[in-house]
Chains A and B, each alone.
Chain A
Amino acid sequence: MADTGHGADAALRIKALESLLVEKQLIDPKALDAVVELYEHKIGPRNGAKVVARAWVDPDYRKRLLADGTAAIAELGFSGVQGEDMIVVENTPEVHNMVVCTLCSCYPWPTLGLPPVWYKAAPYRARSVIDPRGVLAEFGVEVPETVEVRVWDSNAELRYLVLPMRPAGTEGMTEEQLAALVTRDSMIGTGVPMAA
């Protein structure tokens, strides 16, 4: 397994790379600050939560989302790097979906932000395909034997977002209240939305 890079070594490497790129006039350091600002404050799982909540309250939007994820997500203003070609997969009483990238760390950035460390780690990537139910159990998700566990390996250029099932007892809730129930992990498939 390659060094995934953490701690002081990674920090040094990043500093060295940044210095080189700036010296060669490939980047303006302020451009890096702008990228960091975007991913710290604007692009993250609250975007995906808005998509999910909209799909829960608007059946036509749900249909568009499942038919053309990229276009439907763009309707809410989310698009771009690592979300250029999106597929949305829907959990149902018969199917529980779960997303992994076994080759590296492919993840739908516009809707979920940058991937958590565990998503990029070798154990999650290896075990999600051979023992998804074991991994799900460790995340506290028990999937009955009568339900199909469907793993999506985002190995190529498609990026996947799970549309979790709307929790029971949320009939009277607003779209905004519903979005607050949608967790990051529920959109990866390693969790379920919070209860109402």
Chain B
Amino acid sequence: MPAALTPEIVPGLVAGGASTKIAEDIAPKFKHGDKVRARNINPTTHTRLPRYVRGKVGTVVHDHGVFVFNDSNAHGKGTHPQHVYNVRFTAQELWGPDAPSRDTLHIDMFESYIEPA
């Protein structure tokens, strides 16, 4: 029996990749300009929601479309497809009034991570 991964299929696999973006028609809950708060949740399992944004308020700047939800998919608990948004936080919102007033941080938030603010 040949191995699952053979040299012949490597170039195609590498160049093709495996996007987790999927063409599912799901209505987005948020849009460009919406103020959102990153939820203060503390999963003990896989998550893409870093602690430093939890509880902080930012602005949706882009809707990337629908992606497989890592938090559930990593544990074989379903793909739970949902919109992923790029959200802009000011450095002062994240780190307090001593942070430089112009600086910002952009991060990609699954819809499950955010709520209206």
Contact = CB atoms under 8 A, between A and B. Distances in A.
Interface of A: 22, 25-28, 30-31, 33-35, 38, 43, 79-85, 87, 102-103, 110, 129-130, 132-133, 145-158
Nearest to B20: A157
A157 B106 contact: no
A22 B67 CA distance: 33
Contacts of B48: 103, 155-156
The CB with the most chain A CB atoms within 10 A, among B4, B86, B102, is that of B102
B4 A25 contact: yes
B10 A149 contact: no
Contacts, number: 125
Contact of B106 (A81, A83, A152): A152
A25 B108 CA distance: 38
A30 B70 CA distance: 31
A130 B99 CA distance: 8
A132 B3 CA distance: 46
B21 interface: yes
Contacts of A133: 100, 103
Given A79-B15, A102-B50, 11 more contacts: A22-B3, A26-B3, A34-B7, A35-B10, A81-B14, A130-B94, A133-B103, A148-B104, A149-B91, A152-B106, A153-B107
